[in-house]
């Protein structure tokens, strides 16, 4: 985990450049719990994780949002995310 590594340093982040996180990748591909409001494609690039717990009033303490970017070049809203508990993608 590499906290405060990029913008918005009020919350720790975990960096997962590219598609190097297999468990997140699998979860995103299955579309479970994701936030995908545009084209319905299932091929995503996986980006940073943003810690949500404590910072947001409505989130569980162990919740993170993982950045997903749709690889469909025709997607009108490619940037999205998936909320995951820490245990599902941090080892």
What is the contact surface with other proteins in residues (CB under 8 A)?
6-11, 35, 47-50, 52, 55-59, 65-67, 69, 77, 79-81, 83
Nearer to other proteins, 11 or 90 (CB): 11
Decide whether 7 or 87 has the Cβ nearer to other proteins. 7
To other proteins, the closest distance from the beta carbon of 26 in angstroms equals 19
Residues with Cβ within 8 Å of residue 43, at least 6 apart in sequence = 29, 70, 71, 72
* Distant-in-sequence, close-in-space partners of 9: CB < 8 Å, separation ≥ 6: none
């Amino acid at each position: 985990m590499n906290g405060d590594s990029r913008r918005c340093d009020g919350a720790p982040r975990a960096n997962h450049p590219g598609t190097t996180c297999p468990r997140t990748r699998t979860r995103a591909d299955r579309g479970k719990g994701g936030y995908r409001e545009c084209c319905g494609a299932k091929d995503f690039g996986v980006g940073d994780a943003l810690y949500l717990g404590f910072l947001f009033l409505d989130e569980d303490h162990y919740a993170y949002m993982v950045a997903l970017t749709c690889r469909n070049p025709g997607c009108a809203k490619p940037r999205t995310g998936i909320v995951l508990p820490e245990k599902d993608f941090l080892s």
